[in-house]
Chain A
Amino acid sequence: MRQLFIILGLISAIFAVILAVLPLSNFAFFPAIAGLLFGILAFLKGRKENKPKHTIQLIFLLTIIALALATYKSITATTEVGNTEQLEQRDQESEENAIEELEDIDFTE
């Protein structure tokens, strides 16, 4: 059971770190919390059996990194649009072409 918690905890923690790095950082909270829970369960199981705790420490470390990064990004994130120069150009060209094309159309219908 302890092994299962460690594996699940490690997978969740790695997944949380990956999400925290991506623009999807808001969703890193789910696997990070799952990772923490699995880590705590593995820790409690291991304490009774007096087993080594290195992997559990790694799980805690990864989840804390993920949580810190996700929190930082959610506070500082700005929702600004990137470079739209090309789109504006396409927009303008498209209107010019459309006017040319619409010259021949009969609007009486």
Chain B
Amino acid sequence: MKHLFLFLALSFSLFSKAQNNAFQAGESLTFTAGYNMSGLMTDFAQVTMQTSEVKTSSSTLLRLKCKATTYSKWDNFFKIRDLYESYVNPNTLKPYLYKRDIDEGGHYKFVKYNFNHRTNTVKSLIRKKSKNFESGFWDRNANVKINSGTKDIVTTIYHVRSLDIKKAKVGAIDTFTVLFDGKETKCKFTYVAKETINTAIGSKECYKLRINLINNDALKGNDNLIWLTADENKVPVYAKFKLAVGNGELKIKSATGLKN
């Protein structure tokens, strides 16, 4: 599942940085994650991406949330209940707090990043279940130095949507940096084409983008693609990533609360 999110996030820091005109608080996107082998598709999970406003005593932040839940028929075999979230500045989309709380087939992991953009550091906490400790958890705290502009995976997904892709030319290449598992990962993306595809929310003209990871084996080859609607919302409607046998797919099911 983490590869799925990583794949989504690996869509670019494209071209000119526009003001966020793509999404607002209250947006909800629902996807179906599945596995496709020679045209036979098996759906295994539902992925939701939601935005909401969060108020502290001094400011208002945007909460970006991704959830992955396996369908009931899979729960007895491999139950997934993942929660990824990021609290960002609504104007600049700078992340301040990122949390990843995953429960995959009994494997539990919690990751928290507190971003400090003044010192370009991230205070990271990784927590796993362990019988060796009285609390029942094994904690590892660390301070990670990051480059300016490095974002977490959830913020990156949304950041991509805020970019002015319409100004880019077919064949344009760019790279950007994501902090995942305490490491900065660089990825290259290529604007492949403009295509019209049929989705559950209608026939949409889309930007087709190819994603490649640099020095990372999570996504191999040139068949990792994402389609974003070629309108102001830039909704990710379809994503495809190559596996050893067959393809993993993410298809949009519904989209509500769109800004435009």
Contact = CB atoms under 8 A, between A and B. Distances in A.
A87 B71 contact: no
28 contacts: A22-B77, A23-B74, A26-B40, A26-B41, A26-B42, A29-B40, A30-B38, A79-B32, A79-B71, A81-B72, A82-B75, A83-B75, A84-B69, A87-B69, A91-B65, A94-B83, A94-B85, A95-B54, A95-B85, A98-B63, A98-B87, A99-B54, A99-B55, A101-B114, A102-B87, A107-B58, A107-B61, A109-B118
Interface stretch (B8-16, B96-104, B149-157, B178-186): B96-104
Nearest to B41: A26
B81 interface: yes
Contacts of A23: 42, 44, 73-74, 77
Interface of B: 32, 37-38, 40-44, 46, 54-59, 61, 63, 65, 67, 69-75, 77, 79, 81, 83, 85, 87, 89, 94, 96-97, 99, 101, 114, 117-118
Nearest to A105: B96
A87 B47 CA distance: 13
Contacts, number: 88
A102 B69 CA distance: 27
Q: How large is the interface on A (under 10, 10 to 19, 20 to 34, 35 or more residues)?
A: 20 to 34
A77 B56 contact: no
